[in-house]
């Protein structure tokens, strides 16, 4: 029975030789360094309004949500957060998840039908890659930020339902997807466009509504937006934003939503406060740009 452990040790040795060993570096809450590596783009994780809202919810609701959203996990805070995000992003509705990773897995699976073709940017985040793999759909990976290649991939599959999947601000390189050009392609082929706006929400677009809004695509019925609540909003969780029928479908059938414990109410309260600050935070965005 120890053979499998020996195999893991051997693989760890090979990773170490290749310089691929990862290490956790715990930090204290009193860490005073200037953080240029984190995702707290607007500095809201420690904003007194945010921490006060989270603290009040912690006292009122307790530490956890105590269940999945469909059992006991939904609170008034979750509902207000979803309505606030939908209004901010300009979409028909939103659904909050316990992580952005699960939101991406759930969104891709919900958009896949029999014969669906997924067209994915080569630089997409791991959660989008895993979502495509787990969906079971045929997937074509196109060169990074290349609308012509996306056009060719869709043209090669006429009549098939298709979803083009991209980030808006790419998480590794920090460059921007050509969203308007991609939308022109998806519209021409009657395909859907799924945009992971995680690193743009709160940072770009009118009132920080993200890159999809900046491209003038907010609320389009053939555009679906996902995002994390752990970047510019300084908290945790994820969101899928799109037409109401999609959200209804996710509530009824989305396994990463139905069978997962809900986002803790204290986190929902903190993120809600952060979203309100970010929406009015043109000064914070100017400071980030500087």
Q: Which of 68, 144, 171, 249 is catalytic?
A: 171
Q: Which of 47, 125, 199, 230 is catalytic?
A: 199
Consecutive H or E run containing 269? helix 265-279
- What are the tokens at 28? 């204290």
Cα dihedral: 54, 262, 108, 225 (round 10): -30
Cα separation, 72 vs 174, whole angstroms: 39
Percent helix, strand and coil across the chain, each rounded to 5?
Answer: 45, 15, 40
DSSP 228-285: ESSSTT-S--EEEEE-HHHHHHHHHH-HHHHTSBPPPHHHHHHHHHHHHHHHT-HHHH
For the chain, counts of helices (H) and of strands (E):
12, 7
Q: Is 199 a catalytic residue?
A: yes
Cα separation, 87 vs 93, whole angstroms: 8
Cα separation, 198 vs 211, whole angstroms: 10
Of 200, 220, 216, 218, give the one whose Cα is nearest residue 208: 200
Q: Is 171 a catalytic residue?
A: yes
Q: Which of 123, 125, 189, 231 is catalytic?
A: 231
Cα separation, 123 vs 143, whole angstroms: 8
β-pairing, 162-167 with 117-121? parallel
The residues that are catalytic are 171, 199, 231
């Amino acid at each position: 029975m120890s053979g499998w452990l020996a195999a893991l040790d051997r693989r760890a040795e090979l990773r170490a030789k290749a310089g691929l060993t990862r290490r956790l570096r715990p930090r204290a809450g009193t860490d005073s360094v200037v953080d240029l590596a984190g995702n707290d783009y607007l500095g809201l994780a420690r904003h007194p309004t945010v921490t006060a809202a989270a603290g009040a919810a912690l006292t009122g609701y307790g530490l956890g949500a105590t269940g999945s959203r469909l059992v006991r996990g939904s609170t008034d805070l979750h509902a207000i957060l979803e309505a606030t995000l939908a209004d901010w992003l300009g979409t028909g509705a939103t659904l909050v998840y316990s992580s952005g990773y699960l939101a991406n897995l759930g969104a891709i699976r919900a958009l896949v039908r029999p014969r669906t073709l997924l067209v994915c940017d080569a630089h997409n985040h791991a959660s989008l890659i895993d979502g495509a793999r787990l969906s079971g759909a045929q997937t074509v990976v196109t060169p990074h930020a290349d609308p012509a290649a996306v056009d060719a991939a869709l043209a090669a599959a006429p009549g098939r339902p298709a979803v083009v999947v991209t980030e808006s601000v790419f998480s590794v390189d920090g460059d921007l997807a050509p969203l308007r050009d991609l939308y022109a392609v998806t519209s021409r082929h009657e395909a859907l466009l799924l945009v992971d706006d995680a690193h743009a929400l709160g940072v770009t677009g009118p009132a920080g509504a993200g890159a999809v809004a900046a491209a003038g695509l907010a609320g389009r019925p053939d555009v679906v937006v996902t995002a994390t609540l752990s970047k510019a909003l300084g908290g945790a969780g994820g969101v899928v934003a799109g037409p109401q029928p999609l959200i209804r479908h996710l509530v009824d059938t989305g396994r990463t939503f139905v069978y997962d414990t809900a986002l803790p109410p204290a986190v929902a309260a903190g993120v809600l406060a952060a979203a309100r600050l970010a929406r009015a935070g043109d000064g914070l965005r100017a400071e980030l740009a500087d």
